[in-house]
Amino acid sequence: MSGGIYDHLVAVVLFGAIFGAAVTALPNVGYVSLLSVDQQQLRNVALSALNTILLDAGYPTNWGSGASFNPASVVRFGLASGNDSALYNLDMDKVMHLVEKDEFGSPNPMGYLPPDTMRQLLGLQAYGFNLKILAPFNVTVRDLAPPANPSDPTDQELRTINYDVAVKYNDGKPIPNAVVNVSIFYSGESNPIQNIKETMTTNALGKCSLAKSLSGQVSDVIIVFEVTVGDIHTATSVYRRGNPHDDIANINIVGDTINLTVPPDVENANRWVISIDAYTEEGFVHLYNGTKGGEQDMFNWGNGKYDEWFKTFPGLKYMNPLILIFNFWAVPKQQGGRQSVIVVGPFPGYLGNRVLSYGSGEGPPSGAASVALQRVVRIAGMTYDVEFTLWKRQ
CB 188 within 8 Å of CB 155: no
Contacts for 14 with CB less than 8 Å, ≥ 6 apart: none
Give domain limits for the chain.
Answer: 1-134+356-367+384-394, 137-351
Distances, alpha carbon 95 to alpha carbons 133, 153, 249, 315, 356, in Å: 9, 36, 21, 19, 11
Q: Whole-angstrom Cα distance, residue 204 to residue 17? A: 61
Q: Which of 246, 258, 236 is nearest to 105 (CA)?
A: 246
Strand residue runs (E) in 33-102: 89-90
Host H or E run for residue 385: strand 382-392
Most confidently predicted of 52-61, 288-297, 299-308, 378-387: 52-61
| β-pairing verdict for 250-254 and 232-239 | unpaired
Contacts for 329 with CB less than 8 Å, ≥ 6 apart: 271, 272, 274, 292, 338, 339, 340, 341
Q: Whole-angstrom Cα distance, residue 336 to residue 356? A: 34
Supply the pLDDT for residue 312.
93
Q: What is the DSSP string of 175-192?
A: -TT-EEEEEEEEE-SSS-
Instruction: Report the 10 Å Cβ neighbour count for 315.
Output: 7
Asked whether the predicted pLDDT for residue 38 surpasses 50, the reply is: yes
Q: May I ask the CATH architecture of the domain 137-351? A: Sandwich (2.60)
Supply the pLDDT for residue 242.
83
Asked whether the predicted pLDDT for residue 7 surpasses 80, the reply is: no
N-terminal to C-terminal alpha carbon distance within the chain: 64
CB 108 within 8 Å of CB 64: no
| β-pairing verdict for 194-201 and 207-213 | unpaired
For 351-380, write each residue's pLDDT tens digit.
Answer: 889 999 999 876 787 778 899 999 999 988
For residues 255-262, average pLDDT: 88
CA angle 384, 94, 170 (to 5 degrees): 15
> Residue 116: pLDDT band by 50, 70, 90 thresholds?
very high
